[in-house]
A and B are shown apart, each in its own frame.
Chain A
Amino acid sequence: MRVAQLGTGRIGAMHAEILARLVEPRSLVVADVDTERAQAVAAAVGAEAADIGAAIEQADALVIAASSTAHPELIRAGIGRGIPIFCEKPLATNLDETQRLVDEIEASGSPFQLGFQRRFDAAYREARRLVEDGSLGRLYVLRLAGHDPAPPHEAYIPASGGIFNDFSVHDFDVTRWLSGQEIEEVYADGGVLGFPMFATYDDVDTAVATLRLSGGTRAILSVTRHDPLGYDIRTELFGSGDSVSIGLGPRTPMRSLEPGVPPPAGPAWSMFIDRFRDAYHQELQAFLRVARGEEESACTARDGLEAVRVAIAATRSMHEHRPVRISEVT
């Protein structure tokens, strides 16, 4: 099977490195609008570089991690060839286009997997197992916390879709996935506390969101674009049977001040590539099984759409200072 890695930015280069270990190096082709970067990444992993059109033409499966604005066109090229497609989030940069794309993907029959890598993280999977086998009992509350180590470059902000679309969309997805429930209503608030550049683009650097789920579970999310100690992604699940946490351990960038509690052994997680390295590996391995027809996609285009609808509702709630039902977002 010949796999084309489209896009060789941070995530694309990481995908190429992982894919080079999962498929025969000569079965991997790497492409980017920046041909020099594509060649450098290809050389680093022992793959071949090609221009984007040629890469798609010869591929049996696409792995897309290009700029967000290019995702729809590349997905459609994959659909046109009827081949399996993996795409990083987001599917598209606005809701209408996302909805159209999801319909096209579903109608096409091309196997499709979206890049919500937390679904492949060992602790997230264990938590989901505990929900499914009833160990957690009735799920009362999910606590989700996400801290980026440092804000993105200013040029990234206007096209990012805002903090909820760009960052919290992963939390909205794992909320749905862990609980097995749909998110029905969201209340959100946010502020610019450390980095005035966010205000320039009507975005925030710190935010919270309260979610009500279809099965009565509630969730509380807090996110910040700056954590002085590192990259911190945690989820806690609190139910009638047990209380468990994901992401709390020796590498958590948070110090407990309880007397006698030693600081985490460290080193603290520095960024997503570090924190979710194994999850990214697992998700591409899963995609190759999907591409070979061995299993169904564990993360569909529609999952991406549902998470984006919550992100849009959260953004609206923050701007309008009121709880927003997800059904308002169509």
Chain B
Amino acid sequence: MKVAVIGAGSMGGMHADLLGAMDGVGALFVVDANPLRAAEVARRAGGTAVTFEEAIDAAEAIIIATPPELHRAAVEAALDAGRHVLCEKPLTESLETTIALTRGVEKAGAHLELGFQRRHDAGFAAAREAIDGRLHLVRLTAHDPLVSQRPAPSGPPPEVAPIFRDSSIHDFDVVRWLTGQEVTELSVEAGRRDGSRPTDPREIESAIVAMRLGDGALAVLEASWLHPTGYDVRVELVSASVAVSGGLSPRTPSRHADWTDATDGWSGYLERFEAAYRAELAAFLQCCRGVRPPASTARDGLEAMRIAVAATRSFIDGRRVSLSEIAGLARTQVA
């Protein structure tokens, strides 16, 4: 299989490294707006730096890891050329373009997957398998390591807060994927690291999202960009007959009296989810060969984005928001 990675930042670079070491990858192409960076990543991964057009022309499978604003054009060019596409989340930068892209992808019947790697994480997947009996409660925790200072926002506030669009979108996908249910309503409480409540959603650094699912189950997400000692992503589920956790291990960066001191907490997503990213790429390549169905669809990217937009609206309005208020696409397919 000939594979191209579009975008050679931290995500694209990691994908290239993993692909370079993977069986069944016959040729690896790397594309970046910065040719020096593309060349460096290609050299490291054992691939070739090429232009975007060359990559679309030569590769059968395309992995898109550019900034979100460039996703739509890259996805459409790749799909127009009949390629299989794995696109990093978010599917596009805004709800409007995500709806448009999803509509086009569904109409064409093209193969587009989202980079929701938690679906390929062993602990999360085992939690999903373990659900037995009616689901009552889902608890999600997602903390990125502290970034000392984020850029001050400029221009009018966006419809979707960065923390929800770029980070919690994984958790919103996990809720849908784990439970097989849609989020119907949610309410958000969020603020800056000093506890104050900004008016601009771009300044949110810590957030709690309380969600109600289609079957009446409740899900809560607690997320931040403020973890002082590591990277902490976990899920807990309570159903009628099980209570399980994904992600809880001696490497969880939270100390407790009885178990272990997490002196070696996960440092970041690249380390925490390396196995999941590898599994995601392997599954994607199998899907390209037609031996398994896609792990996710454009629709999954759209629904996660709709939840992120609803969460932002709840924060701005200070009220509970129904997902029916958020634009989307009518269900045209049986899932």
Contact = CB atoms under 8 A, between A and B. Distances in A.
Contacts, number: 186
Contact of A259 (B123, B137, B227): B123
Interface of B: 122-123, 126-127, 130, 134-137, 139, 141, 143, 146, 185, 187, 189-191, 193-196, 206, 208, 210, 212, 216-218, 220, 222, 224, 226-229, 232, 236, 238-250, 253-259, 318-320
Interface of A: 122-123, 126, 137-138, 140-141, 143, 145, 147, 185, 187-194, 205-213, 215-218, 220, 222, 224, 226-229, 232, 236, 238-246, 248-250, 253-261, 321-323
A253 B141 CA distance: 19
A255 B228 CA distance: 26
Given A187-B320, A256-B244, A212 B189 contact: yes
A26 B210 CA distance: 53
A322 B319 contact: yes
A220 B206 contact: no
Contact of B242 (A205, A228, A243): A228
Contacts of B319: 322-323
Contacts of A220: 208, 210, 220, 222
Nearest to B143: A238
Nearest to A212: B189
Nearest to A190: B218
Contact of A232 (B146, B239, B243): B243
Given A212-B189, A222-B137, A321 B320 contact: yes
19 contacts: A138-B195, A140-B206, A143-B139, A147-B238, A187-B210, A188-B210, A194-B136, A206-B218, A208-B220, A216-B196, A218-B190, A224-B137, A228-B242, A243-B227, A243-B254, A248-B256, A257-B123, A261-B250, A323-B187
Nearest to A223: B137
Contacts of A255: 243-245
- Of B122, B130, B191, B257, chain A has the most CB atoms within 10 Å of the CB of B257
Nearest to B219: A208
Contacts of A244: 254-256
A248 B232 CA distance: 16
B210 A189 contact: yes
Contact of A240 (B228, B236, B259): B228
B220 A245 contact: no
Contact of A140 (B220, B224, B250): B224
Contacts of A248: 256, 258-259
Contact of B245 (A137, A227, A250, A257): A257
A66 B72 CA distance: 66
A257 B126 contact: yes
Contacts of A227: 238, 243
Nearest to B257: A123
Contact of B187 (A187, A190, A257): A187
Given A189-B210, A249-B258, A257-B246, A145 B139 contact: yes
A264 to B, nearest CB: 9
A23 to B, nearest CB: 31
A206 B137 contact: yes
Given A192-B216, A218-B190, A260-B249, 5 more contacts: A189-B210, A210-B220, A220-B208, A222-B218, A224-B136
B136 A226 contact: yes
A291 B220 CA distance: 43
A137 B320 contact: no
A153 B229 CA distance: 44
Given A208-B218, A254-B244, A243 B253 contact: yes
A254 B236 contact: yes
A245 B256 contact: yes
B257 A126 contact: yes
B189 to A, nearest CB: 5
Q: Which 6 interchain pairs have the tightest Cβ spacing?
A: A216-B195, A249-B258, A257-B126, A256-B248, A243-B254, A245-B256
A250 B122 CA distance: 22
